[in-house]
Chains A and B, each alone.
With several copies, the nearest count.
Chain A
C-alpha cells in the first residue's frame, strides 16, 4: 500500500470508528461518556505514523484516534467502551483510560504531562532510544502542572514531543476566553522549540511531524508541535453549543478525509473505505458479542 493509501486508511478507520460510536451511543450500546476525534484525524495519523517500535504515547480524554493510529485494535476499543472483558483495559478504564503496549491515556487534563516527561527520561536513562509523544488540548494548557513539566523537560532534556491539538475550543469554551498570550509563547518561555501548523491535511502534518521526530531522535531535549485543528462533533455527545452553520463550514473546508482523499484514485479511495467500513463493522459486532468482565475483584469492602 502506498503511503498515501496507508494514511487514508488511518483517517478512514478513525472516522468510521467514531461515527459508529456516536451512532450507537444513543441506542444504549455504550455506557458512560466518550469524546470523539472527528475532524482531528489527520493529527493522530500524521504524527503517529512516525513512531518506531518502543516509542511511547501519552494521550488524553479524546484518545480514540490516538489509540487507533498507534495501532490499537478497534474491537478492543469498542469492547472497552461497552465495558467488556475483551476491552483494552478489561472494561475498567472505559473511553478515557486506555493502556496497551506503550500507549497510556488518562482523563484528568494535564495530569499526564509530568508522567510523560518521567517516562521519556526513563527511556533515555535506559538507553532505549524511545521517544515520547504527549497529546494535549488547548484546554489542558490551563493546568499548572503542564508548565512545571515543560520546565523540567527542558532542564533535563527529556525526549518528548508535545503535540498541542488546538481545536479552538475546550468543551464549550472558546480558546480566546481561556488562553492569554499564545501557545507558541508558552513553549518559548521554557526554551522549547515549537513548530506551528494550521492544517487538516494529513500529509502536511506528516511532513511537519517528520521533521520534529528527526530532530527529537538526533538531538536531546523536548520539542513542541502546535496543530491548529477543527473539532467537527460535540465535545462528548450532543453537547455542541456552536452554531451549526459554523460546523458545516468546518466540515466543508477542513475535512482531513476530503483533503487527503483527493490524492487517491476514486477507486482506491472507495476500496479503502469499503474495507474500513467492514473492518469496523466486524470489530463492533465482535465486541458486542464479547463477554462481560468478571467482577470478583470488585467485591465490596464493607463487612
Chain B
C-alpha cells in the first residue's frame, strides 16, 4: 500500500520525469530534508537544477513561480504551511489568477501552489489552519484537495502537467500518513466515481443499505471522518447516508449549480450535511448549502454544517480537539437531521 505522502511524492517525481519544464520552488526543499513534510523528498537529488530551495519569502516565490509559468514552464511552489498562504494572497488574487482573463486570454499561468493545511498536531494558532476557504471564491483559480479514495499523486501530476489554470493544491497534514485505499479496504462500500475535468468525485454508500436519508459531503481528511461516521450512523443509529467526496473544490459549476454527484445524491436524500475543517462562516460548506438551497428550494428539507469553531486553533490538545470537528460532531449533527 502507499501512503498519501508517498503518493504525492511519486506524483511529483512522475511530473519531473515526464516534463523537463517542471520546477519546484520552496523553503527547505533540499535533501536529506526534502521539505518540512517530506513531500518533496529526493527531488533535489534527482533534479538538482530544477529544485530551488528558497529564502523565507512566500510572496516572492509565488510570484517567481507565476513568472516562470507565464513564460512556458510548469513550476510547482511549495508553501511550508498553508497558514502562510495569506502572504501570497496578493500574488494569487491580483496577479496569478488575474492575468489570463485580464490580458484577454493571451497569457496563461499554469503554476501549482502546493501546501499542507489543517490541525490535530498541536502546532498552535498560526500553523494549524484550514484556510483554503479564502481562495475557493477567487475567480480563475482551481483548488484541488486529494483524499484516500483515489490517487493523490496522480491528481497532483495531472494538475501540474495537463491543464493551464493556476492551481492551489491543498494537502491536509493528517492525511499524509494515511494509506491510499484499495478495493479491499473499501469492500463495504458501493462507490460511484465521476470526474470534473480530471479531478475525481466519489460517491459512497454502504453495500446493500436502503435508500439514503441524508447526504454527507466532505473533502480531504474530513472525508475520512465522514466515511467512518457513515458506517457508524448505519450500524449504530440506522441512519443511512450517502457520502460525496470531491477533489475539485473550485471552480464549481458556472451559473450556481451543484456538482453533479452532489446534486444526484440530494435528489433522493433531500438533506445535506457538509463537513469541513475550516472555520464555519463563509466556508466551503456555506457554498454547498447555498447551491443546494437554490437548486432544490423547499425540497431541501434539512441543511447543516459541521466545521471548526470560529476562533484561533489552540495548541493545547484538549482545546484543539474541542475546536476542530470530530467524528462525534458529525454523528450528532446527522442524528439531529433525520
Q: Which residues of A contact B (CB under 8 A)?
A: 31-33, 56, 80, 83-84, 87, 89-97, 99-100, 104, 106-123, 125-126, 139-145, 148-149, 151-152, 155-156, 170-173, 177-179, 239, 241, 292-293, 295, 297-303
Q: Chain A residues near B103 (CB, 8 Å)?
A: 89, 92-93, 97, 99, 104
Check A89 against B106 for contact (C-beta < 8 Å).
Answer: yes
Which of B4-12, B50-58, B226-234 is near enough to bind chain A? B50-58
- B189 interface residue per 8 A CB criterion: no
Q: Given A96-B126, A97-B126, does the pair A117, B60 have CB atoms closer than 8 Å?
A: yes
Q: How far is the CB of A113 from chain B (nearest CB, A)?
A: 7
Of B69, B104, B309, B323, the residue contacting A89 (CB under 8 A) is B104
- B305 interface residue per 8 A CB criterion: yes
User: How far does the alpha carbon of A156 sit from the alpha carbon of B65 in the complex, in Å?
Assistant: 13
Q: Chain A residues near B59 (CB, 8 Å)?
A: 114, 144-145, 148
Q: Given A93-B124, A143-B56, does the pair A114, B61 have CB atoms closer than 8 Å?
A: yes
Of A83, A152, A239, A303, the residue contacting B255 (CB under 8 A) is A303
Check A83 against B315 for contact (C-beta < 8 Å).
Answer: yes
Closest B-chain residue to A81, C-beta based? Answer: B315
- B203 interface residue per 8 A CB criterion: no
Q: Given A107-B124, A114-B63, A301-B279, does the pair A173, B28 have CB atoms closer than 8 Å?
A: yes
- B18 interface residue per 8 A CB criterion: no
Q: How far is the CB of A244 from chain B (nearest CB, A)?
A: 13
Check A108 against B316 for contact (C-beta < 8 Å).
Answer: no
Q: How far is the CB of A131 from chain B (nearest CB, A)?
A: 13
Check A302 against B123 for contact (C-beta < 8 Å).
Answer: no
Closest A-chain residue to B32, C-beta based? Answer: A241
Closest A-chain residue to B127, C-beta based? Answer: A107
Closest B-chain residue to A132, C-beta based? Answer: B67
Check B315 against A144 for contact (C-beta < 8 Å).
Answer: no
User: How far does the alpha carbon of A122 sit from the alpha carbon of B101 in the complex, in Å?
Assistant: 22
Q: Chain A residues near B321 (CB, 8 Å)?
A: 295
Q: How far is the CB of A233 from chain B (nearest CB, A)?
A: 16
Q: Given A94-B124, A171-B28, does the pair A115, B102 have CB atoms closer than 8 Å?
A: no
Q: List the 4 closest pairs (A to B, CB-CB), nearest first.
A: A118-B67, A94-B315, A114-B63, A83-B316
Q: Chain B residues near A299 (CB, 8 Å)?
A: 309, 322
- B68 interface residue per 8 A CB criterion: yes
- What are 21 sample pairs from A and B whose C-beta atoms fall under 8 A apart? A91-B316, A92-B102, A94-B122, A94-B314, A96-B126, A96-B127, A107-B127, A111-B95, A115-B91, A117-B67, A119-B68, A139-B56, A145-B60, A152-B60, A155-B55, A171-B33, A172-B28, A173-B27, A301-B307, A302-B305, A303-B304
Q: How far is the CB of B35 from chain A (nearest CB, A)?
A: 10
Interface residues in B263-306 (C-beta closer than 8 Å to A): 279-281, 294, 304-306
If A84-B316, A93-B314, A118-B64 are given as contacts, then 12 extra A-B residue pairs at C-beta distance below 8 Å, sorted by A number, are A31-B122, A94-B123, A99-B106, A104-B99, A111-B90, A115-B64, A118-B67, A119-B70, A142-B56, A142-B57, A302-B256, A303-B255
User: How far does the alpha carbon of A114 sit from the alpha carbon of B33 in the complex, in Å?
Assistant: 26
Check A300 against B28 for contact (C-beta < 8 Å).
Answer: no
- B174 interface residue per 8 A CB criterion: no
Check A106 against B67 for contact (C-beta < 8 Å).
Answer: no
Residue of A31, A115, A116 with most partner-chain B CB within 10 A: A115
Check A177 against B53 for contact (C-beta < 8 Å).
Answer: yes
Check A118 against B124 for contact (C-beta < 8 Å).
Answer: no
Interface residues in B56-86 (C-beta closer than 8 Å to A): 56-73, 75, 83-84
Q: Chain B residues near A106 (CB, 8 Å)?
A: 94-95, 98, 126
Of A97, A104, A117, A121, the residue contacting B124 (CB under 8 A) is A97
Q: Chain A residues near B329 (CB, 8 Å)?
A: 300, 302
Q: How far is the CB of A213 from chain B (nearest CB, A)?
A: 19
- B185 interface residue per 8 A CB criterion: no
Closest B-chain residue to A101, C-beta based? Answer: B106
Residue of B32, B124, B294, B319 with most partner-chain A CB within 10 A: B124
Q: Given A33-B123, A89-B104, A92-B101, does the pair A302, B319 have CB atoms closer than 8 Å?
A: no
Check A300 against B307 for contact (C-beta < 8 Å).
Answer: yes
Q: Given A302-B325, A303-B256, does the pair A93, B56 have CB atoms closer than 8 Å?
A: no
Q: Chain B residues near A139 (CB, 8 Å)?
A: 55-56
- B317 interface residue per 8 A CB criterion: yes
Q: Chain B residues near A300 (CB, 8 Å)?
A: 306-309, 322-323, 325, 329
Check A115 against B95 for contact (C-beta < 8 Å).
Answer: yes
Q: Chain A residues near B322 (CB, 8 Å)?
A: 295, 298-300
Of A96, A111, A171, the residue contacting B36 (CB under 8 A) is A171
Check A118 against B315 for contact (C-beta < 8 Å).
Answer: no
Closest B-chain residue to A99, C-beta based? Answer: B103
Closest B-chain residue to A146, C-beta based? Answer: B60
Closest A-chain residue to B333, C-beta based? Answer: A302
Check A123 against B256 for contact (C-beta < 8 Å).
Answer: no
Check B316 against A145 for contact (C-beta < 8 Å).
Answer: no
User: How far does the alpha carbon of A292 sit from the alpha carbon of B319 in the complex, in Å?
Assistant: 9
Check B66 against A114 for contact (C-beta < 8 Å).
Answer: yes
Of A56, A91, A145, A155, the residue contacting B315 (CB under 8 A) is A91
